[in-house]
Amino acid sequence: MKGLDEGRCWQAVLERDPAFDGEFVFGVVTTGVFCRPSCRSRRPRRRNVRFFATPRLAEGAGLRACLRCRPQQSDSAAVSWAAEVGDWLRERSQQGDRVTMTDLSRHFGLRPATLRRQFRDVVGVTPLQFLEACRLERFREELRDGESVTDAVYAAGFGSSSRLYERIDARFGMTPTEYQAGGAQLEISYAWLEGRFGLILVAATDRGVCSVEFGESREVLLQRLQREFPRAHLEACRLGPWEEPLRAWIAALERLLAHGGGHPELPLDLRGSAFRIKVWRYLMSIPRGETRTYREVAEAVGNPRAARAVAQACAANRLAVLIPCHRVIRASGGLGGYRWGEDRKRQLLALEGVVPGRDSASAHLAES
């Protein structure tokens, strides 16, 4: 199709690159279907592929829209639909209702498999996984409000405590009783660093470093830590048994920020969902001087469709630099978001010898 770089388009189809969704669609003349570049369907033969700048042009050529990737539906429409499903699930969770895929399918008028796939493509998790996350959040709220663990389990819509306890420590990083106490049994020691990247709060529990955050003021950074552990014992770096280890961990972090050296082997106290912890552990394996796209990370953790969920895991990371989410960029070569600001992300990458841009990203994809 005139006006499109067909070589570039074909490479995007081969890589199923979501960065090109909306820029063009491709049609397969042997099947009569047109798709988004990121469609997960089997790759066609090049000789059977035609490229179109818009879905309307593809339809004018006699092709019909793929039912899997829905190329006629804009990203904003897909996000709006997924938000509507999420709101419905969240409301059911707040009411303590039990919800099945059959209930969801009946309410939204879609087959269960179709609804599950379309929701997962946008959100990164299935509707029932999303519902479970809502229940866990309700469970946390009940504990914070002073309810007993047993009452909180049933108020959040869990039929019993057994399933909850199977994964509660991985979700919260502590037991329900500890969480109910707002971290009252935890002792957290913290210290401040100031340097080329600004003010940094470093905090640790007896398990390891639990927070490394950039910020503009000590007051704001301490407020963030206190919100997560409202009744934990927080104290500046004078705390008994953890004082010497924390000082060593801080020294290792200072060396990393000063010279961009190898990743220090520090004990980390990770607190998040099983999926997020899996993403964070993979990020720690990315070598200095290299980057990955959100899609590549999703594929590496075994869920190729979860690029958005990977981005959310990066945004939820509270261990700056130690979990190097700054090494994750967009497929187009753009920086993408960063919890502590794009300028810091650019500076951290520059310290490691990386200059993000379309050309460098394309070179990296070609090598991989």
Residues noted as catalytic: 35, 325
Which structure tokens are listed for 32? 């009569």
For residue 28, list its beta bridge partners: 33, 49
Which structure tokens are listed for 71? 């190329």
Which structure tokens are listed for 230? 């409202």
Could you give the 3-state DSSP secondary structure of residue 21? strand
Closest CA to 323 of 313, 333, 332, 308: 313
CA angle 328, 257, 311 (to 5 degrees): 20
DSSP states of 339-364: TT-HHHHHHHHHHTT---SHHHHHHH
Distance from C-alpha of 43 to C-alpha of 264, rounded to nearest angstrom? 41
Which structure tokens are listed for 168? 């509660």
Distance from C-alpha of 196 to C-alpha of 42, rounded to nearest angstrom? 48
Asked if residues 25 and 38 have their Cβ atoms less than 8 Å apart, the reply is no
* 278 phi and psi angles, rounded to 5 deg: -65, -40
Task: Give CA separation, 249 vs 24, 37, 197, 286, in Å.
Answer: 49, 45, 18, 20
158 sits in which H/E element: none
Q: Residue 60 contacts by C-beta under 8 Å, 6 or more apart in sequence?
A: none
Closest CA to 271 of 124, 136, 119: 136
Which structure tokens are listed for 189? 């020691």
Q: Quick one: three-class SS letters along 69-135?
A: CCCCCCHHHHHHHHHHHHHHHHHHHHCCCCCCHHHHHHHHCCCHHHHHHHHHHHHCCCHHHHHHHHH
